[in-house]
Amino acid sequence: MEEKKFLEVFPYLKLEGRLKDEMEQVSVTRVASVKSQNLLRVYIRSCFLISKRDIFQVEDILNGMLRSYRDSWQIKIYERFDLSSQYDARTVMELYRDSILEELKAYSHVLYILFKNAKITYPSKGHIHVEMEDNCIVHMQEKELRAILDKVFLERCGLAVSFTYSYKEIKREEDAEEDFSINKRIEEISQRRMAAGAESTASGGRLAGNSSAGAASGGRAAQNGAGSGKASTRNGGSEQSSSYKEKSANTARNSFSSGRTAAGNGETSGG
């Protein structure tokens, strides 16, 4: 079909504000129906980027109008951008990434999360590097994501972009919190063990001190006992010596008295 303005193909379409301004500058290049799917495909061309959210809004309005005639049919818009040279790979990615996410969200939530969490860098002109989390889901869906990005940039935007991909193990917040909790637990256990070791050493020192004190007390008691024994021996020896001396003195006195008596007796007899 001959290329026509979008609002000429859909003259009864009621748009306002930004949507109306955008669609007034858009051309329809082709309309095709897929009867097996009850689908009407509308191919459009624009010289500037139109967000996917705005495209979805126009589709919703058109489908609301279509239900009055063909309830089971649906209109789908396929956009192509004829961009000027001021648009390069980096500019398009920065301006259009939210639209890619919007489209992925409607198509596959897994791909949406995958691309949302990806880190995008630009090593050189016409080169986009995508760094994604290294997990099994990413590896399963990576091929499809690559195909979508190639299609968006090449077929939709007319840009031949070199994409490279890499993977990085991402430490999640809950893992970091768990590691922090484990390290804190280890530290607490270490501190308790150190405190218990210090207390045990101090108790051992006190026990050793008590043993030394006991030994000293025992030594003093033994010395006291030995002193008492010596004193008793000395006292006993003195008492025995005094008794012996007293007995000897008594014996001598008795002997002396007997001698005097005998002498006295002898004198008396002699007289």
Return the pLDDT at 235: 47
pTM for this prediction? 0.61
Instruction: Looking at 74-172, list the stretches that DSSP marks H as alpha helix, in order from N- to C-terminal side.
Output: 89-107, 109-116, 136-150
pLDDT tens, position by position, 158-171:
999 999 999 998 76
Element spanning 20, H or E: helix 17-24
* DSSP summary character for residue 171: P
Return the pLDDT at 221: 47
Return the pLDDT at 103: 95
The average pLDDT across 183-208 equals 67
Return the pLDDT at 195: 77
pLDDT tens, position by position, 102-131:
999 999 999 999 999 999 999 999 999 999
Q: Which of 26, 103, 20 is nearest to 61 (CA)?
A: 20
Q: How far apart are CA 31 and CA 39, in angstroms?
A: 11
* 161 in Cβ contact with 153 (< 8 Å): yes
Q: Which of 78, 85, 92, 4 is nearest to 41 (CA)?
A: 78
pLDDT at residue 54 tops 90: yes
Q: How far apart are CA 57 and CA 20, in angstroms?
A: 11
Return the pLDDT at 201: 62
Tokens, residue 258: 């007997």
Q: How far apart are CA 96 and CA 79, in angstroms?
A: 13
Return the pLDDT at 83: 96
Could you tell me which residue, 264 or 191, shows the higher pLDDT? Answer: 191
Return the pLDDT at 241: 46
Query: Which residues 6+ apart lie within 8 Å of 260 measured at CB?
Result: none
